Each structure stands twice: as structure tokens, then as C-alpha cells.
Structure 1
Amino acid sequence: MSPPFWERPLETLDAQEWEALCDGCGRCCLHKLEDEDTGEIVHTWLACRLLDCDTGRCSDYANRTRRVPDCLQVNIGTVAEYEWLPPTCAYRLRFLGEALPDWHPLISGDPETVRTAKVSVAGRVVREDEAPDLPLIDFVVDWPGQWPRAARPAARRGPAKPS
């Protein structure tokens, strides 16, 4: 019996399997800023205008690259170069040879676990076309680039505290 597709190397996945690997968190749809001097990438809570902020999913996924020409597509050729992908990203995890976390819909069987684990952007962001008129730096946040405490795989939690 062969392993489930999500345990196989990324380069062996077909288009349908590749799409199914996405947990739908929406973190890759948030605007990022890059420091011109250091190259450091910081995340914001400003989302693409196509993101449904209630669900954390693209409202027009099939046409997203036509409607948003700079929409970044994660594929086998870009997953290595997009170092800004969140640490929770299934593409990043599998590229690094790591297992999917328990909250991933392919493991849990429930797409809501992305929200309950506080990985999804749903309810936490605002679309760029609905945002207050503030400098971009005012939208910078850390959480999209971090593991939510409740969502960390056991191996990432560190040693148990003595009782």
C-alpha cells in the first residue's frame, strides 16, 4: 500500500493533489513588506482584495491571477524561493520533509480545524480595499510568520515543564 499523497515528495503530486495540500489558511494572501536594506520580510494584516476575510479563502480562486496579476502562485518551482511562506504552510512543511500537523484538514478530516487551531486568517484581517487609510507599517504583525501556540506539533513545543 502506498502512502497518502500528502506524505509523498512534492514533485510526485499531480495538480489535484497539489491543490488539496493547501490548508486554506489564507496567510499567503496577506501583504508583506520587505526591508530594502536587510531583505527582511514582515507580514501585515492587510489581505488581497479577493480574500474573503470571513472564511480566509480566495473569493475567485479560479481567476485570481487574471484579476490580481501579482498574485503569487506557490508551485514546485517557487516553494523553495518563497522563504516568507508561513512555518505552518503545508507546502513549506512537505518541502522540508516534515509531516503535516494534526489540525491540517487532510489529517483531521475537518476543514474547520485550521480555524480552531488559530492558523487561519479568517476574522483576523482586513482586505486592502476596505482598510483604513494608514501607512503600511501600521499594519505590520508577527503572527502570520509564527506557529500559533495551540497549533504547534508536539515536536515543536519543546521540553515538558517539570511539575
Structure 2
Amino acid sequence: MAKYGLHRTPAANVAETLRLGETLINAALAEPEIVTTVDSITGMTIWNTQEDEITGLFLLVPVTEAGRAAVEDGTFTPGDPAIRHIAPANTPIFGVYCGIYAGATRTARKSVLMAAGDLRLNAFAPVPTYARGATEDGARSMLTLGYRPLQGGLPDLFVSDPMGE
């Protein structure tokens, strides 16, 4: 992630990072305390880019087998996921739910999009990756990255299926 200008968000900056995301998609994200808790479990949930200020963010939740089923059947709660749905650091993951990847500047958008592609191809290829089309640009970028609409789960849900070797 660092090669794309993304860095783990320290707890002190989680609220500010989430506010940026909410502004960019014009919708509520999770409460900072929840994101901080999920991040402490996964060791990889919230990232941001900084130029002179926070300009981009990437929020993801690796999920357990039960979490994957919940995403696909619509019972996963992105803003407050059940503990049984969250894959702790250094344990097998069965999917990844991407809460948001967005940027306020061209540089930040490029950073998060490049990181999303790299993670998909190099870190999460064996498992499905899920994201919702919160904005028209977001849905378009997911289609560009090879995601497809998935019916039956959360509203506006897209999936990038596992990739073979």
C-alpha cells in the first residue's frame, strides 16, 4: 500500500478519514470506534493518503467463511460487522469486503485505484472481493477492475470472483 501513497490510519485520524469518505460518497460510513475496533482485529482495515491533508481513503474488512456468506445473502452489516464475520490478522480469509476506496484529488484517486487493483491481483486473488457501488464513478471503477454486479446480497453489491493461478 505504501508504494501507492497509502498508509495505515492512526486511531487519532480515523474520524477525519471517515468524514472525508462520507463527504465523497454523500453517505454515512461506520462510526470511528467501530472502524478502530475492526482495524485492531484485522490489522489492515483503514488506510489513507495525505498530501497537505487527508485526501483519500481505503476501508476493507477481510471476512471469515460466515462473513462471506453474510455478504452474499445480505445479512452482513458493513457499518457494524458481527465479530464472527471479521477475519482476525494472520488467520485464513474467505473474502474481502471493501467499504470504500475514494479520493478527493486526482492523485488520491489514482493512489486508491492502483492499490485496489494491486491488492485484488496480488493479495486477495484466491478469494472473492466485494464492494458496493456507492457512486456512479465507484461502480464504473469496479467494472473497470473486473467486478460484476451480484444479486441477492447487499444493495448495489459487486463482486470480483476468485482468480485462478
TM norm structure 2: 0.28
Higher strand share: 2
- The structure in which a higher percent of residues are helix is 2
Query: Which entry has the higher C-alpha Rg, 1 or 2?
Result: 1
